[in-house]
Chains A and B, each alone.
Chain A
Amino acid sequence: GAGVSQTPSNKVTEKGKYVELRCDPISGHTALYWYRQSLGQGPEFLIYFQGTGAADDSGLPNDRFFAVRPEGSVSTLKIQRTERGDSAVYLCASSPSAGGLDTGELFFGEGSRLTVL
């Protein structure tokens, strides 16, 4: 597609449930990032993929959060046993490559708004 696509755009769930959020990056972009944006705050880094592998997952808050990118394109962010504090907008971004001499910006999707009741 022309841009980064995220689904669902909105997700309401109950505390303790399992949630999956999907990101379809710009075609050909090898780097993919997940950020979390809480109300009134800036985006916070969660995890970064280069190809299929998670190159940096230092931003994942705890082991309830996990992300995969099995074929190096679409990525899924998985949240187990959701808590009310997980409520936020989850942003996905991609870029043509990562590190090295590439100084390009990130291209963001419109986000998935998660509400945990």
Chain B
Amino acid sequence: AQSVAQPEDQVNVAEGNPLTVKCTYSVSGNPYLFWYVQYPNRGLQFLLKYITGDNLVKGSYGFEAEFNKSQTSFHLKKPSALVSDSALYFCAVRDMNNNAGNMLTFGGGTRLMVKP
């Protein structure tokens, strides 16, 4: 079975400061890893993904994430936070060995609050 843990319910950061939202995962095979963002009353929007290759992946809105196989982590980062980044962030994993298509398993989410 595959699982995702987001240990922080909420992350608070001041505008202009760097931010990190943590994610760890568990899969039996090689992981495909994703970050999604959810704004109030909206669906999930794709931010970035790691499939293979460079451990540092860059995505939308200046976000990036670093895949660390030894620590089974995929933390989301941004060098300089904006107030408009305030939203709910979800990490998700797909097990390459899973036959359920692109079925993703999501973490519980982390609320990011960026204060001016």
Residues of chain A touching chain B, judged by Cβ–Cβ distance below 8 Å, are: 4, 31, 33, 35, 40-45, 48, 50, 55-56, 58, 91, 93, 95, 97-99, 102-111
A-B pairs, 10 with minimum CB distance = A98-B101, A42-B106, A108-B43, A110-B43, A108-B44, A105-B46, A56-B100, A103-B51, A99-B101, A42-B108
Interface pair B43/A91, CB less than 8 Å apart: yes
A112 to B92, CA, bound (A): 21
Interface pair A110/B41, CB less than 8 Å apart: yes
Task: Kindly list chain A residues whose C-beta atoms are within 8 Å of the C-beta of B45.
Answer: 108
B105 in the interface, Cβ–Cβ < 8 Å? yes
Task: Kindly list chain B residues whose C-beta atoms are within 8 Å of the C-beta of A111.
Answer: 43
- In the complex, 25 of the A-B residue pairs with CB atoms within 8 angstroms, ordered by the A residue number, are A31-B101, A40-B108, A42-B107, A42-B108, A42-B109, A43-B106, A44-B106, A45-B100, A45-B103, A50-B101, A56-B103, A97-B101, A98-B101, A98-B102, A99-B100, A99-B101, A99-B102, A103-B102, A104-B102, A106-B44, A106-B46, A108-B36, A108-B43, A108-B44, A110-B41
A7 to B99, CA, bound (A): 29
Task: Kindly list chain A residues whose C-beta atoms are within 8 Å of the C-beta of B34.
Answer: 105
Task: Kindly list chain B residues whose C-beta atoms are within 8 Å of the C-beta of A102.
Answer: 102
Within the complex, what minimum Cβ distance (angstroms) separates A63 from chain B?
Answer: 20
Residues of chain B touching chain A, judged by Cβ–Cβ distance below 8 Å, are: 4, 6, 32, 34, 36, 41-46, 49, 51, 90, 99-109
Within the complex, what minimum Cβ distance (angstroms) separates A46 from chain B?
Answer: 10
Task: Kindly list chain A residues whose C-beta atoms are within 8 Å of the C-beta of B106.
Answer: 35, 42-44
Interface pair B109/A95, CB less than 8 Å apart: no
Task: Kindly list chain B residues whose C-beta atoms are within 8 Å of the C-beta of A58.
Answer: 100
Closest to A110 in B: B43
